A and B are shown apart, each in its own frame.
Chain A
């Protein structure tokens, strides 16, 4: 490869963004590191745990109803006599997958509506924001329940999408506010003077400037997606095949684990949900601190 003039690729742009991020990260924020390590540990547990511990079937019966922790079932068994420890590993997988799908869907819709509303202004903005506000005012759990009932099969993907289409308005509102302030920047005017079309302006001149913001919104949506999934599952509206942290809680509730003192059936999934939410919120708040110099120090 010799002196061929290089096209500036998206890859190089990404690298530059990364370089900036790395520079700011060198301020290393202990909260960010703690959140990252915690989340990494949970992910590792969910993804590689089953192979490491050689427990690859969460539905296998290993004992009787609510066996207490033992050498075979480290965290006891559930109401069907299945291993709670194994279920936890697979539950994390499901919960995170649904969270990621929900977060992605919500972020995509939110960014699309937010940028278009914020950039075009006028009637388009009024209409889009009215729609957003309507979706916000309807309690999302009601839509979720109705949607969940309406679907015959509820796969992981369907669940994720259902949650995503009810939670995007927050992202849309935040993105719209950012967009309306960014579109008055001089570099947007300069790009217009080069004849850049509106979509190009939004995609190349505005979105890059709020990437950190979008990442933050995504993390929040991911978190709320996981919690919404747990809430739906506890109502018996979870995925129809497989196990999730919410479904574990549903069974534990139905089968009176609290009254019978089978703490291992409901405390571990609750604890894991809390830890996931905690690590994500730590990451989210420290992303803010890393990108927003005003919050960085005193």
Chain B
């Protein structure tokens, strides 16, 4: 169990910033972003390409160092962690899933090898059978049959299957927070829903927090409790999903909402 200070949110950023380049060519990819999220919450970060949402994901995963501001996990500043050993303890609690599942797996490894590598982030070295058991449990949780999939190579799996394996990869270490960077944008609509449902199930069963990064307001609407809207590196609006979508305050959010195509002529809502 964690020694959580009751007042500290699970994750918090304070003026988190990342700039690339210098002088006139400086681009503020993430500009003074402050937000917080609680355990078990699903928060969607919405923005167009170039809005800085993927840079935010890389900052929160500590794959990229911020040029300003702080990230706090349970009230503790993690931007000061640099050594691989320190970061490993962070990555035990915060894991990621990415957009392009074909690119996210080493094509020279089988699923088994990729998932075993993921366990390296744990401090304890598990026995062979413990490792296998963890991996198989995670695969079952994402709805895959371990026997069917463990010895496959990435190119033998479909995009939907790989996306599930990627989520299983994060699950094997039992993280508190999953940062999912457009995990469904390369999937077809019918598969997309099944991956989103999987994320909803994980929140229910593990009380896992999910930061869901997307350009698709429809998915944010279906999945998340709260929405953060990013525009040119800045967080321009945040709030509960029903409030942001029904009554957008920022001009950019209003424009975005007006341009999102809605399915016309649909009768009723699916059960």
Using A195-B120, A195-B121 as known contacts, say yes or no to A187 and B110 having CB atoms under 8 A apart: no
> Interface of chain A, helix or strand or loop or mixed?
helix
In the complex the two chains form, is A191's CB within 8 Å of B106's CB?
yes
Q: How far is the CB of A193 from chain B (nearest CB, A)?
A: 5
A201-244 toward B: CB 8 Å interface, digit per residue (1/0)? 00011001100000000000000000000000000000000000
**Which of chain A's residues have a CB closer than 8 A to the CB of B112?**
8
A190 CA / B110 CA spacing, docked (Å): 15
CA distance A5 to B61 in the complex (A): 32
Out of B61, B105, B153, which one reaches A193, CB within 8 Å? B61
Encoded as 1 (CB less than 8 Å from any A CB) or 0, chain B from 95 to 124 comes to 110111001111111101100111111000
Given the known A-B contacts A186-B98, A189-B98, are A196 and B104 also in contact in the complex, defined by CB atoms under 8 Å? no
Any chain A CB within 8 A of the CB of B236?
Answer: no
B87 at interface, CB cutoff 8 A: yes
Q: Assess whether A193 is in contact with B63, with CB atoms less than 8 Å apart.
A: yes
Chain A residue nearest in CB terms to B119? A194
Could you tell me the distance between the alpha carbons of A96 and B106 in the complex, rounded to whole angstroms?
35
Q: Are A194 and B63 in contact (CB-based, < 8 A)?
A: no
B100 to chain A: which residues have CB within 8 Å?
Answer: 186
- Residues of chain B within 8 A (CB-CB) of A187 are 103-107
- Which residues of B lie under 8 Å from residue A195 when comparing CB positions? 84, 87-88, 91, 120-121
Interface residues of A in 1-21 (CB under 8 A from B): 5, 8, 12-13, 16-17
Do the beta carbons of B103 and A185 come within 8 Å of each other? yes
C-alpha gap A34/B12 in the complex (Å) = 63
Question: Please, how many angstroms separate the alpha-carbon atoms of A38 and B108 in the complex?
Answer: 32
Contact: A17 with B117, CB < 8 Å?
no
Whether the Cβ atoms of A186 and B103 lie closer than 8 Å is: yes
Of residues 80 to 96 in B, which have CB atoms within 8 Å of A's CB atoms?
A: 84, 87-88, 91, 95-96
* Contact A16-B106, Cβ < 8 Å, known A186-B100, A193-B96: no
Residues of chain B contacted by A194 (CB below 8 angstroms): 91, 117-121
Q: Which of A192, A197, A209 contacts B63 (CB 8 A)?
A: A192
Interface set, chain B 147-172, CB cutoff 8 A to A: 153, 166, 169
Task: Give the residue name and chain of the B residue nearest to A192 (CB).
Answer: B63
A interface residue count range (under 10 / 10 to 19 / 20 to 34 / 35 or more): 20 to 34
User: Which residue of B is nearest A211, CB measured?
Assistant: B108
Assembly CA distance A8 to B132 (angstroms): 13
B22 at interface, CB cutoff 8 A: no
Which of A5, A185, A208 is most buried by chain B, counting CB atoms within 10 A of its CB? A5
A1 CB to closest chain B CB (Å) equals 16
For B88, the chain A residues whose CB sits under 8 A away are 195
User: Is the pair B106, A205 in contact by a Cβ cutoff of 8 Å?
Assistant: yes
Closest to B104 in A: A186
Chain A residues lying within 8 Å of B110, measured Cβ to Cβ, are: 8, 12
Query: Shortest distance in angstroms between B142's beta carbon and chain A's nearest beta carbon?
Result: 16
Q: Which residue of B lies closest to A13 (CB)?
A: B108
Residue with the greatest number of chain A CB neighbours at <10 A, chosen from B87, B104, B153: B104
- Chain A's closest residue to B115 (CB) is A194
Give Cα A66–Cα B63 distance, bound, in whole angstroms: 71
Give A11 Cβ to nearest chain B Cβ, in Å: 12
B58 at the interface (CB under 8 A from A): yes
Q: Are A208 and B103 in contact (CB under 8 A)?
A: no
B98→A5 contact, CB < 8 A: no
Beta-carbon contact of B117 and A208 below 8 Å: no
B96 touching A5, Cβ below 8 Å? no
Separation of A147 and B8 alpha carbons in the complex (Å): 67
Whether the pair A208, B121 counts as a contact (CB closer than 8 A) is no
Does residue B266 face the partner (Cβ distance < 8 Å to A)?
A: no
Quick check: is B128 within 8 A (CB to CB) of the other chain? yes
CB pair B106–A208 under 8 Å, yes or no, is yes
Residues in B whose Cβ lies below 8 Å from that of A205:
106
Give bound CA distance, A194 to B104, whole Å: 13
Minimal beta-carbon separation of A93 from chain B (angstroms): 35
Per-position binary interface string of chain B over residues 177-204, scored 1 when its CB falls under 8 Å from any chain A CB and 0 otherwise: 0000000000000000000000000000
Contacts of B132 in A (CB 8 A): 5
Contacts of B58 in A (CB 8 A): 189
Chain B residues in 8 Å Cβ range of A189: 58, 61, 63, 96, 98, 104
Interface residues of A (CB under 8 A from B): 5, 8, 12-13, 16-17, 185-187, 189-197, 204-205, 208-209
17 other A-B residue contacts (CB within 8 Å) besides A187-B107, A190-B166, A193-B118: A8-B109, A8-B112, A8-B116, A13-B108, A185-B103, A186-B99, A187-B103, A189-B61, A190-B98, A190-B104, A193-B61, A193-B95, A194-B121, A195-B121, A204-B106, A208-B108, A209-B107
A-B residue pairs in contact (CB < 8 Å), sample of 28: A5-B132, A8-B110, A8-B112, A13-B109, A16-B108, A16-B153, A17-B108, A185-B103, A186-B99, A186-B104, A187-B104, A187-B106, A187-B107, A189-B58, A189-B98, A190-B96, A190-B104, A191-B117, A193-B63, A194-B118, A194-B119, A195-B120, A195-B121, A196-B117, A197-B84, A204-B106, A205-B106, A209-B107
| For the complex of A and B, 7 pairs with smallest distance between CB atoms | A8-B113, A186-B104, A195-B121, A195-B88, A186-B103, A208-B108, A186-B98
